[in-house]
């Protein structure tokens, strides 16, 4: 690398850090998060709030850099916003939920945090992923600081327990996966992901792993037992029923329908004609595979959802062989999934009559835009983490090399449009914080691969299984 190029890259990183510093949100004199965007050319709407999912990449980056106070403040303040009592009003957030976002408001000279649980959001979407990401951030904080005392505090134990009770509640369901409405995660607009979307299942699995490490058995034994029961069946369910490669495609292609009884091979009654076999037959490389976007009654969503697949690798939800196959697919179908800006949120995009019916003619989710096949730079950090986990760092380096020349000149947009991500998103905000932090975190993970342990999980060890049960503290007992 030439000196001039190295200086340019350093300047880019310095500008990114400067922009991230400006995005830090302060409450009562303490840093508590980052605002979603600092685009001064348009109305703020809710981009002046701190979103839990948006803060993840910033939180991990701050932890790596030793700025743990911001993350601790974030965890403490968001925990206070969690409803602790059951609500009689069905339009109020349920017990245990973590808000989608929060902002600082001032009344009579005093500052307060105002939470949004989706009641102000477009279409009033439910932020199911917020509590799952919150658990992942808490576990990352503990992994970075070794400060188990925070997680073992009674209020944090109660907060984790309420989240787990919400996720593991008795329900009208026979699957180990988590049933959610459309728009319950990063894809927060109607896109046909209601049911058991992969993104939620990957985050659910990671949150269960985090809770299993951090919950003290004393007083939480019922929840710990429920987690221990759910983890292996959830992992097995996803690895078996969500997996798509050429061998699996051949098996599904010969499925019979309307099978009854415990011996049914086609357990979800998938109708063969509902799947795009000819496109998949052409698109799937021999050594590649991926986890389906959704599986449910007569439903197998064969779209590739990036966040769910990458988090499945990072969290150890996908097997080692499956993880390598997913990375093989990304490498072989680079032009489709990465193109000119890492990385596409979903592939392929819904188009034509399918787009009109499934999205409700959403003008923001037109084909190859926003959630419907747009490219999101924030996904770079997950690609980098998955690449480190699978020893495929060269793929992360290639993605960063593609993004570097454009992001600064384009003023750090939220997303890109087009089949290859060559167009700045039609309604994309500039100076989007998670675009900035996602880029910086991707570079940090490549330069410091050991940092991936803050968000990744390895196969269970005997020590992990027993540690929480053996730990006792007087304050919790009392």
Please compute the mean of the pLDDT values over residues 45-74 and round it to a whole number: 97
User: Which tokens belong to 14?
Assistant: 């310095």
Mean pLDDT computed over 447-468 = 76
What is the Cα–Cα distance from 217 to 473, expressed in whole angstroms? 11
Determine the pLDDT at residue 4: 61
Residue 451 has pLDDT above 60, yes or no: yes
Degrees (nearest 5) of the Cα angle 243, 246, 247?
Answer: 80
Compute CA distances 166 → 28, 152, 153, whole Å: 31, 20, 20
Question: Mean pLDDT over residues 314-322, rounded?
Answer: 97
Range name among 61-70, 169-178, 373-382, 447-456 with the lowest pLDDT average = 169-178
The per-residue pLDDT for 465 is: 47
Q: What value does the mean pLDDT take over residues 47-64?
A: 97
Closest alpha carbon to 311 in 460, 207, 176: 207
pLDDT exceeds cutoff 70 at 467: no
Q: Where do the structural domains in the chain lie, given as residue ranges?
A: 3-471
pLDDT of 122: 77
Please check the confidence at residue 252 and state whether its pLDDT lies above 80: yes
Position 460 confidence tier, pLDDT thresholds 50, 70, 90: low
Note the pTM of the prediction, 2 decimals: 0.94
Residue range 208-215: mean pLDDT, rounded: 97
Q: Quick check: 132 pLDDT over 60? A: yes
Binned at pLDDT 50, 70 and 90, residue 464 comes out as: very low
Contacts of residue 209, Cβ cutoff 8 Å, sequence gap at least 6: 139, 231, 315, 316, 457
- Of 176, 183, 173, 67, which Cα lies nearest the Cα of 121? 183
Q: Which range (42-51, 70-79, 418-427, 454-463) has the least confidence? A: 454-463
Confidence (pLDDT) at 6: 65
Lowest mean pLDDT among 111-115, 124-128, 367-371: 124-128
Least confident of 12-21, 372-381, 435-444: 12-21
Q: In whole numbers, what is the pLDDT of the chain averaged over residues?
A: 92
- pLDDT for position 174: 87
**Mean pLDDT on 91-120:** 91
Whole-number Å distance between alpha carbons of 185 and 190 = 11
Minimum mean pLDDT among 169-173, 180-184, 275-279, 355-359: which range? Answer: 169-173
Task: Please report, rounded to a whole number, the percentage of residues in the chain having pLDDT higher than 90.
Answer: 80
State how far the Cα of 145 lies from the Cα of 69, in Å rounded to an integer: 10
Whether residue 427 has pLDDT greater than 70: yes
Q: What is the mean pLDDT of residues 419-434?
A: 96
pLDDT of the residue at 461: 56
Q: Please report the pLDDT score of residue 388 as a whole number.
A: 98
Residue 471 confidence (pLDDT) above 50:
no
Least confident of 12-16, 42-46, 236-240: 42-46
Fold topology of 3-471: Glycosyltransferase (1.50.10)
């Amino acid at each position: 690398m030439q000196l001039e190029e190295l200086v340019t890259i350093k300047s880019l990183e310095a500008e990114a850090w400067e922009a991230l510093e400006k995005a830090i949100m302060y409450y009562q004199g303490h840093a508590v998060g980052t605002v979603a965007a600092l685009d001064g050319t348009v109305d703020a709407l809710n981009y002046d709030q701190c979103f839990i999912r948006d803060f993840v990449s910033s939180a991990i980056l701050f932890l790596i850099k030793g700025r743990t106070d911001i993350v601790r403040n974030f965890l403490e303040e968001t925990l206070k916003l969690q409803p602790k009592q059951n609500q009689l009003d069905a339009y109020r957030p349920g017990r245990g939920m973590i808000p989608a976002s929060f902002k600082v408001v001032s009344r009579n000279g005093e500052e307060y945090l105002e939470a949004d649980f989706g009641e102000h959001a477009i279409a009033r979407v439910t932020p199911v992923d917020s509590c799952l990401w919150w658990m992942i951030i808490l576990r990352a904080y503990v992994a970075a600081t070794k400060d188990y005392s925070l997680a073992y505090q009674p209020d944090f134990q109660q907060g984790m327990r309420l989240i787990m009770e919400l996720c593991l509640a008795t329900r009208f369901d026979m699957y180990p996966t988590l049933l959610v409405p459309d728009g319950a995660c990063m894809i927060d607009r109607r896109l046909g992901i209601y049911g058991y979307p992969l993104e939620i299942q990957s985050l659910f699995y990671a949150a269960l792993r985090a809770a299993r490490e951090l919950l003290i058995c004393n007083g939480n034994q019922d929840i710990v037992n429920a987690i221990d029961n759910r983890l292996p069946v959830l992992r097995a369910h996803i690895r078996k029923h969500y997996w798509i490669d050429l061998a699996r495609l051949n098996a599904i292609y010969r499925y019979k329908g309307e099978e009854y009884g415990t011996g049914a091979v086609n357990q979800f009654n998938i109708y063969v004609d509902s799947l795009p076999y000819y496109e998949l037959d052409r698109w799937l490389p021999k050594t590649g595979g991926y986890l389906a976007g959704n599986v449910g009654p007569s439903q197998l969503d064969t779209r590739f959802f990036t966040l769910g697949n990458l988090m499945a690798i990072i969290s150890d939800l996908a097997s080692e062989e499956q993880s390598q196959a997913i990375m093989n697919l990304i490498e072989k179908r680079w032009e489709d999934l990465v193109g000119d800006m890492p990385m596409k949120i979903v592939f392929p995009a819904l188009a034509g009559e399918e787009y009109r019916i499934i999205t409700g003619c959403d003008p923001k989710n037109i084909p190859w835009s926003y959630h419907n096949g747009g490219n999101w730079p924030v996904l770079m950090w997950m690609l980098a983490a998955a690449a480190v986990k699978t020893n495929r760092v060269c793929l992360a380096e290639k993605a960063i090399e593609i993004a570097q020349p454009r992001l600064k000149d384009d003023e750090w947009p939220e997303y890109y449009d087009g089949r290859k991500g060559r167009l700045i998103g039609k309604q994309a905000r500039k100076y989007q914080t998670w675009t900035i932090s996602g880029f910086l975190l991707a570079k940090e993970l490549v330069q410091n691969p050991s940092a991936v342990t803050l968000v990744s999980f390895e196969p269970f060890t005997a020590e992990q299984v027993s540690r929480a049960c053996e730990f006792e503290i007087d304050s919790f007992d009392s």
